[in-house]
């Protein structure tokens, strides 16, 4: 740990509180306009005078704006706290780190659970369909609102990686570097299939009620089953064996069963089932090629440097998907570094297995800051 | 195709009808007795005079007794028809092939949907818990009923492989050869986890009603979601990409989504949700080591020859699980051949990718019949 984060032998506790900014409206890919639109975000570190040290961190499917530090109200630690902080991979002694909740989310940013001003009721399934480019467009509005013209870097894992790639393609002048981790340029049939199972589990729950459950009993059983499927795909066969094996929790229940049930039921308390439907659809529809024959064509205007990271045991977002991005970037003669990090943690590796990842990110940001900012 | 199966240039259509045999009772591992107990079975080919040409084929989780030929009533083709028939892997011109529905199933053999003679109503969740050894014990009763003392071979894929291994361990004198395909000696945490998601999906459906849905609306939505998860695990990433890719069926739906929904809803018509719960539990609890430190110890009394087959793209029952069985058998100096067949079909390979598999089985059976019968 960086010395600056130690106070009297104890790590300095960094408290954060989510902030909300409201914009008049946002135009969406589907042709609709959402008005108004709110974005929940947190920041860590200080923006320097030349405003060239800002990094936008992009969360995965079920993440939120609380990426680092301790939440002042709940006491919860941020989802990437091991990567963001003084001396860490995203070093807040040097950089100004921003993280916002995605559009259609349920953690402060406008989503299906938000009030539709026209009706005074939650949008529910009347919330307009959103895309990954829509999410990124809203992030761009936030970044401009913070007075930043050009980001030093955009980075995220899983769906965060998709957003990072979209940033580099949509706003090439506004991003010096992109760090997509454990991601893809488009979902495979298997990835779509797993998301579809989650959606069907939610919609099979009578409490889902076509999405109109706000103020009533939410579709907790369906959402819980959806989350259980997710958790299996986030781990590897090896990490499940090491964590649970065939151990019993009690006479009738394997440890892995009780773990999945617990994680499923816990998720229900913090996530909105309709957001699950909207966000997974956005992931599935995302295709950086946009119908072009090759992925390389998508990067025709890209100007960022790239650091692409994958993990050997990640079978949900397998390394070949990151390699496909790397090949396409090389095909455009882009500045790209690629690392396939050895790990047994599966897709979760980008959240838990951070030593090598942090070193790679630290070095890459440092040279980008020196050469490109 | 074998000449004998051609009549006037057309393949000979082989019709079959499932038969049912009733036994007074069966003692179960859990200490309970099921009385009476019925077994549904079919046979193909002819038992020879010395009764040494019988092969018992063991079905996977959702299979049934109708393994080959055309069902006289429904017109359905058997689930392993490409492996069982004149000149096929299990050559019915030479061998007498038997297949029975497993205990706790829902296709003719006693299961939770059967009538409890004490109440006159379906057992539902009062059906006693059953194990893989219980299933095999009932198969042994059927084989004896057919007048067969010693089987030339037992063979099956997936859960059928678990039963084949159990046969070789429990009844070493009664099996000349065992052919476990795409199986394991015990489920991993990941395999248990996928089964648990299916169970939770069923039990989350209010129509499940603690298992008391007979004569009412069955838990179709839950069972359908469970089956969707299953189908993803039966295919490989590659086979899903080749079969569906990112193609759309209509504007709002990927082909893979519509396929999974169709397969899910179709399953509901032919499978009982309570059987799903009982059978998956039996699979998860199965552990050939029975608490012994090494798998090798399990094979201490085994006398069969073994042909173990796995498929390179099977990630549900990965090759390392078959290799674990092979190593344990070699540790006991058992006669074992092992083949890891290249295939992109994933776990489904044992059902669909049968050319090499059929050749291996044919040769192995032939030498066993010559040397050991």
pLDDT in tens, B241-297: 999 999 998 878 999 999 999 999 999 999 999 999 999 999 999 999 987 889 999
pLDDT digits (tens, 9 = 90+) for B195-208: 999 999 999 999 99
Residues of B in contact with A240 (CB under 8 A): 188-190, 193
| Residue B54 reports pLDDT greater than 90 | yes
| Residue B4 reports pLDDT greater than 70 | no
Q: Rounded to a whole number, what is the distance in Å from the CA of B171 to chain A's nearest CA?
A: 26
Residue tagged 């706003």 (tokens)? A171
Q: Is B21 helix (H, G, I), strand (E, B) or coil?
A: strand
**Residue B310 falls in the annotated catalytic set:** no
What Rg value do the Cα atoms of chain A yield, rounded? 20
pLDDT digits (tens, 9 = 90+) for B144-191: 999 999 999 999 999 999 999 999 999 999 999 999 999 999 999 999
Residue (of B256, B236, B312) closest to A318 by Cα position? B236
Interchain contact B187–A (C-beta under 8 A):
yes
Provide the residue ranges of all domains of chain B, joining segments of one domain with +.
Answer: 3-187+286-372, 191-283
Q: Is A101 helix (H, G, I), strand (E, B) or coil?
A: coil
Residue (of A316, A364, A372) closest to A91 by Cα position? A364
Exposed/middle/buried for A254, CB within 10 Å: 0-12, 13-18, 19+? Answer: buried
**Residue B304 falls in the annotated catalytic set:** no
Q: Would the CB atoms of B192 and A246 count as touching at under 8 Å? A: yes
Q: Would the CB atoms of B204 and A205 count as touching at under 8 Å? A: yes
pLDDT bucket at B2, cuts 50 / 70 / 90:
very low
What is the rounded distance in angstroms from the CA atom of residue A78 to the CA atom of residue A67? 4
User: Which tokens in the block code for residue B85?
Assistant: 């028939």
What is the rounded distance in angstroms from the CA atom of residue A58 to the CA atom of residue A71? 18
Which helix (H) or strand (E) segment is B116 a member of?
strand B115-116
Q: DSSP class of residue B82?
A: T
Residue (of B96, B98, B82, B81) closest to B40 by Cα position? B98
Q: Which fold has domain B191-283?
A: Rna Polymerase Sigma Factor; Chain: A (1.10.1740)
pTM of the predicted structure, to 2 decimals: 0.95
Q: Which of B304, B314, B343, B353 is catalytic?
A: B314
Residue (of A73, A56, A59, A75) closest to A13 by Cα position? A75
What is the rounded distance in angstroms from the CA atom of residue B264 to the CA atom of residue A173? 47
Q: Would the CB atoms of A196 and B224 count as touching at under 8 Å? A: no
What are A34's strand-pairing partners? A26
Write the secondary structure of A274-286 as one string of H (helix), E (strand) and C (coil): HHHHHHHHHHHHC
* Chain B interface mutation, best of A125, A129, A193, A232, highest count of B Cβ atoms under 10 Å: A193
Q: Would the CB atoms of A240 and B196 count as touching at under 8 Å? A: no
Q: Which stretches of chain A drop beneath a pLDDT of 70?
A: 1-13
- Other CB atoms within a 10 A radius of the CB of residue B107 amount to 21
CA separation (Å) from A20 to A17, A78, A107, B65?
10, 17, 11, 62
Residue (of A155, A154, A195) closest to A282 by Cα position? A195
What are B360's strand-pairing partners? none
* Chain A interface mutation, best of B225, B230, B324, highest count of A Cβ atoms under 10 Å: B225
What is the rounded distance in angstroms from the CA atom of residue B295 to the CA atom of residue B180? 15
What is the rounded distance in angstroms from the CA atom of residue A143 to the CA atom of residue B294? 59
- Sign of the dihedral through C-alpha A327, A329, A332, A336: negative
User: Which of B188, B225, B244 has its CB closest to that of A197?
Assistant: B225
What count of Cα atoms within 13 Å lies in the side-chain half-sphere of residue A330? 9
What Rg value do the Cα atoms of chain B yield, rounded? 20
What is the rounded distance in angstroms from the CA atom of residue A100 to the CA atom of residue A350? 18
Q: Is B23 helix (H, G, I), strand (E, B) or coil?
A: strand
What is the rounded distance in angstroms from the CA atom of residue B307 to the CA atom of residue B359? 12
What is the rounded distance in angstroms from the CA atom of residue B303 to the CA atom of residue B301? 6
Q: Would the CB atoms of B188 and A240 count as touching at under 8 Å? A: yes
What is the rounded distance in angstroms from the CA atom of residue B77 to the CA atom of residue B70? 5
**Left if phi > 0, otherwise alpha if psi is -120 to 50, otherwise beta: which for A334?**
beta
Residues of A in contact with B235 (CB under 8 A): 190
Residue tagged 């090389």 (tokens)? A330
Query: Biggest alpha carbon distance in chain B?
Result: 63
CB B60 within 8 A of CB B105: no
Given this model, what pLDDT does residue A11 score? 52
Q: Would the CB atoms of B197 and A284 count as touching at under 8 Å? A: no
What is the rounded distance in angstroms from the CA atom of residue B221 to the CA atom of residue A203? 9
Given this model, what pLDDT does residue B9 score? 46
User: Which of A229, A237, A246 has its CB closest to that of B229?
Assistant: A229
* Chain A interface mutation, best of B131, B186, B188, B189, highest count of A Cβ atoms under 10 Å: B189
Domain A3-188+287-372 top-level CATH class? alpha beta
| Residue B220 reports pLDDT greater than 70 | yes
Residues 261-280 of B with CB under 8 A from A: 261, 264
* Chain B interface mutation, best of A125, A187, A189, A295, highest count of B Cβ atoms under 10 Å: A189
Q: Which CATH architecture has domain B3-187+286-372?
A: 3-Layer(aba) Sandwich (3.40)
What is the rounded distance in angstroms from the CA atom of residue B88 to the CA atom of residue B93? 9
Residues of A in contact with B240 (CB under 8 A): 188-190, 193
Residue tagged 């009476």 (tokens)? B36
Interface predicted TM-score of the whole assembly (ipTM), two decimals: 0.94
Q: Is A112 helix (H, G, I), strand (E, B) or coil?
A: coil
Crossing angle of the two packed helices B220-234 and B189-204, in degrees rounded to 10: 160
What is the rounded distance in angstroms from the CA atom of residue A36 to the CA atom of residue A324? 38
User: Which of B196, B225, B246 has its CB closest to that of A189?
Assistant: B246
What is the rounded distance in angstroms from the CA atom of residue B329 to the CA atom of residue B332? 5
Interchain contact A194–B (C-beta under 8 A):
yes
User: Which tokens in the block code for residue B352?
Assistant: 């669909």
Chain centroid to Cα A308, Å, comes to 15
CB B114 within 8 A of CB B281: no
Q: Is B298 helix (H, G, I), strand (E, B) or coil?
A: helix
Residues of A in contact with B244 (CB under 8 A): 189
Q: Would the CB atoms of A189 and B224 count as touching at under 8 Å? A: no
pLDDT digits (tens, 9 = 90+) for B16-49: 889 999 999 999 999 999 999 999 999 999 999 9
Q: Would the CB atoms of B205 and A201 count as touching at under 8 Å? A: no
Chain centroid to Cα A294, Å, comes to 25
Residue (of B4, B47, B136) closest to B373 by Cα position? B47
CA separation (Å) from A73 to A67, A97, A238?
15, 21, 37
- List residues of A with catalytic annotation: 158, 314, 347
Given this model, what pLDDT does residue B93 score? 97
Q: Rounded to a whole number, what is the distance in Å from the CA of A225 to chain B's nearest CA?
A: 6
What count of Cα atoms within 13 Å lies in the side-chain half-sphere of residue B287? 14
Q: Would the CB atoms of A188 and B235 count as touching at under 8 Å? A: no
Q: Would the CB atoms of A224 and B204 count as touching at under 8 Å? A: yes
Q: Rounded to a whole number, what is the distance in Å from the CA of B61 to chain A's nearest CA?
A: 20
Nearest CA in chain B to A282: B252
Residue (of A102, A126, A129) closest to A115 by Cα position? A126
Interchain contact A260–B (C-beta under 8 A):
yes
Interchain contact A29–B (C-beta under 8 A):
no
């Amino acid at each position: 740990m960086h010395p600056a984060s130690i106070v009297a032998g104890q790590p300095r506790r960094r408290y954060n509180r989510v902030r909300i900014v409201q914009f008049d409206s946002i135009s969406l890919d589907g042709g609709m306009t959402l008005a108004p639109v709110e974005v929940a975000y947190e920041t860590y570190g200080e923006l320097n005078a030349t405003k060239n040290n800002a990094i936008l961190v992009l969360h995965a499917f079920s993440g939120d704006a609380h990426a680092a530090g301790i939440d002042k109200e709940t006491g919860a630690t941020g989802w990437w706290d091991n990567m963001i902080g003084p001396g860490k991979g995203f070093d807040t002694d040097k950089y100004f780190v921003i993280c916002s909740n995605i559009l259609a989310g349920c953690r402060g940013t406008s989503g299906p659970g938000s009030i539709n001003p026209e009706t005074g009721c939650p949008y529910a399934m009347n919330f307009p369909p959103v895309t990954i480019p829509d999410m990124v467009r809203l992030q761009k509005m936030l970044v401009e609102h913070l007075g930043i013209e050009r980001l030093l870097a955009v980075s995220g894992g899983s769906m965060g990686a998709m957003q990072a790639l979209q940033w580099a393609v949509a706003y090439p002048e506004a991003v010096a570097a992109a760090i997509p981790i454990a991601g893809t340029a488009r979902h495979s049939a298997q990835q779509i299939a797993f998301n579809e199972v989650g959606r069907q589990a939610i919609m099979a729950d009578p409490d889902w009620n076509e999405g109109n459950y706000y103020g009533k009993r939410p579709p907790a059983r369906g959402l819980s089953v959806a989350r259980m499927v997710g958790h299996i795909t986030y781990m590897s066969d090896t990490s499940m064996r090491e964590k649970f094996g065939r151990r019993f929790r009690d006479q009738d229940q394997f440890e892995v069963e009780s773990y999945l049930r617990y994680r499923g039921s816990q998720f229900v308390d913090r996530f909105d089932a309709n957001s699950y439907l909207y966000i997974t659809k956005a992931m599935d529809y995302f295709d950086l090629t946009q119908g072009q024959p090759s992925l390389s064509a998508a990067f025709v205007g890209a100007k960022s440097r790239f650091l692409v990271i994958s993990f050997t045991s990640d079978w949900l977002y397998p390394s070949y998907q990151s390699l496909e991005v790397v090949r396409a970037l090389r095909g455009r003669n882009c500045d790209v570094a690629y690392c396939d990090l050895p790990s047994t943690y599966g897709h979760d590796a980008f959240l838990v297995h951070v030593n090598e990842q942090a070193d790679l990110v630290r070095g890459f940001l440092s040279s980008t800051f020196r050469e490109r900012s």
